[in-house]
Amino acid sequence: EKGGYDHFMLKEIHEQPKAYRDTMGSRINADGSKIVLDEIRMTEDQIRSIRNIHVVACGTAYHAGLVGKSVIERLARVPVEADVASEYRYRSPIITKDTLVVVVSQSGETADTLAALREAKRQGARVLAITNVVGSSVAREADDVIITWAGPEIAVASTKAYTSQLIAFYLFGLYLAEVLGTIEAADLRKTIAALQELPEQVENILQQSAKMESFAKQIAAHNSLFFIGRGLDFAIAQEGSLKLKEISYIHSEAYAAGELKHGTLALIEEGVPVIALAAQEELLEKTLSNIKEVKARGAYVIGIGLEGNEELSEFVDAAIYLPRTLSLLTPALSVIPLQLLAYYASLAKGNDVDKPRNLAKSVTVE
């Protein structure tokens, strides 16, 4: 049942190229010029009347929502807020009939997310669900549904469901941009072509697993570490940190790289591991200066950058390089080494990788 892998998590990590292909599937037309989301029943007029978007989810799905926020804002120029579902209802969010609420849930049964969906509907918003389970509660109650075709996910720590959610956000963001006229035809084609390259690029990163295994063994001896990054790299830092905590039980914190010096830098001392995400090329200079700050305090830095930016190696103790893609799409690649890092750290500590303590795959109480 684990298809020759030692754990479901590792199997699911390796299923990501297929999950990307299946989630894109027929949602891109034959000549790669258009996004086809036939399942969306929202009319073009309804799309044009959207004034704001709220993305609401829990855990890993919330982290997909953080990427989704940037993707939609950059592509479609509609303001987006992202909230964890258990907070959303209680902060009196400003919901009108022109608000689109996007709920994201692998299982489609998470009680906090479902409650947020119901509250949004009660207040007159239209709800779009991004979920991996056809016929789930969230899928049934939402007005529109985009199914992520990741296939069943067994390991408690989400990997392929998360990355399929990213793909769903790219497709939806591009679809909105097409309808709203915020993207040029040439840019749309270019982005679609880059999306279609992702599965093979993920395969390339998976071939570097041994490197992540050796980094994992190094960090497994530590009690605490940091993930830093800017922009979309920060969203991935948060997911990488959660993944590590969930299954290795090593404490970590994700920090916006530029915010470190406003407090957290106090915790950086000799030997503290810092995983620095440096895949946002336009922010590279700034991130490098933040890497220098932690290095100067003795941190052991593992950098994650893009091929072609190998100067990163001069600033860090060890580095891994990702195939080049559009800046907006890097999250679909940069999270892969972090999933492997968490997996191998959990393994090194002798933990039950697929069934971490205190956690459940789907939480149906608020």
Would you name the residues annotated as active-site residues? 361
Rounded Cα–Cα distance for residues 271 and 323 (Å): 29
**Largest Cα span, the chain:** 58
Which amino acid makes up residue 75? L
How many helices and strands in the chain, by DSSP H and E?
13, 10
Q: Which two tokens stand for residue 321?
A: 């390089």
Rounded Cα–Cα distance for residues 284 and 156 (Å): 34
Rounded Cα–Cα distance for residues 181 and 196 (Å): 22
CB 347 within 8 A of CB 250: no
Q: Kind and range of the H or E element at 273? A: strand 273-278
Which amino acid makes up residue 335? V
Q: Which two tokens stand for residue 238?
A: 């948060």
Rounded Cα–Cα distance for residues 37 and 147 (Å): 11
**Buried-exposed string 313-327: b where 16+ CB fall within 10 A, e elsewhere:** eebbeebbbbbbbeb
Q: Give residue number: closest CB to ligand BG6.
A: 59
Residue 30 contacts by C-beta under 8 Å, 6 or more apart in sequence? Answer: none
Q: Angle CA(359)–CA(360)–CA(362) in degrees, nearest 5?
A: 140
Q: In what order do the strands lie in the sheet with 300-306?
A: 251-256, 224-229, 273-278, 300-306, 318-322
β-bridge pairing 251-256 and 318-322:
unpaired
Binding site for ligand BG6 (CB under 6 A): 58-61, 105-107, 110, 113, 156, 158, 359-360, 362-363
For the bound state, the minimum distance from the C-beta of residue 356 to ligand BG6, rounded and expressed in Å, comes to 8
